[in-house]
Structure 1
Amino acid sequence: MILVTGSVVAREDSFDEVCRLSLEHVQRSRNEPGCISHAVHIDCEDPLRLVFVEQWADRAALMAHFAVPASRQFVRALQDLASAATTIELYDATRLDKL
């Protein structure tokens, strides 16, 4: 499984638009093949920062997600609305059912 975390810090004047675009992106992405989960959260320590947490079945599914034109458009739109550079981190993860 591939775990993806990412974030964007919106400007005060663009926060509502960043939220709208982020929710659209998350809802669309959940229907893509190989998407296990895809969510966006507001950071309680920085309410202008949105944090994305995604789980993908494998690297091929994630690469297909990155190739979707709407995904690329989403990233470009965020760059224009953010107060700082967006972040993204990818992890190869194995789920542990029991400790």
Structure 2
Amino acid sequence: MITIVAECNVKPDKTDDFLKIARGLVEASRSEEGNVSYDLYVDLKDPAKFTFIENWKNRAAIDSHNATPHFQDFGERAGPLFTGPLDIALYQKVI
């Protein structure tokens, strides 16, 4: 299993717009065959900082996800709402 942690900062006046777009991504991603879990969190100290935590069965599932229309659409629609690039890291459990 591979875990993705993707952090993003959203323009403070665009958080509601971001959440509407993100909701569609999360719901569609959860229904993908290789998805184990897909959640979005907001920072309790900074309501404009969000973190996606995703668990995928394998790299092929991630590659398939990245090619989906809902993922591509999210990038196009949410990109202008960010204050900078996403910070994305992939992890594999060791213990």
Distance (whole Å) between structure 2 residues aligned to residue 60 and residue 85 of structure 1: 24
User: Residues 7-33 of structure 1, C-alpha deviation per residue, up to 9 Å, x if partnerless?
Assistant: 211112211010111111111100001
Q: Distance in 2 between matches of 1:59 and 1:93?
A: 14
Q: Could you tell me how far 1:46 is from its partner in structure 2? A: 1.3
Note the aligned Cα RMSD (angstroms): 1.2
- Matched positions, count: 95
1:27-62 deviation line (CA, Å, top 9, x unaligned) = 110000110000001111211011100000111111
Match for residue 25 of structure 1?
Answer: 25
Any conservation in 2 of the 1:4–1:90 contact (CA below 8 Å)? yes
TM-score (norm 2): 0.92
- Flag the structure with larger Rg: 1
Pair 1:50 & 2:69 matched: no
| Structure 1, unpaired ranges of 5+ | none
Counterpart Cα distance in 2 of 1:93 and 1:65: 20
Given the two structures, how large is their TM-score scaled by the length of structure 1? Answer: 0.88
Structure 2: stretches of 5+ with no match in the other structure: none
4+ long deviations beyond 6 Å: none
Q: 1:59 corresponds to which letter in structure 2?
A: R
C-alpha contact (below 8 Å) 1:30/1:36 kept by paired residues: yes
Deviation of 1:76 after TM superposition, in Å, equals 2.2
Matches within 5 A, 1:32-71: 32-71=32-71
**Structure 1 residue 83, shift from structure 2 partner:** 1.3
Instruction: Describe the superposition over 1:67-95 as per-residue Cα deviations: whole angstroms up to 9, x where unpaired.
Output: 1022012122221111121121111225x
Distance 1:89 1:72 in 2: 19
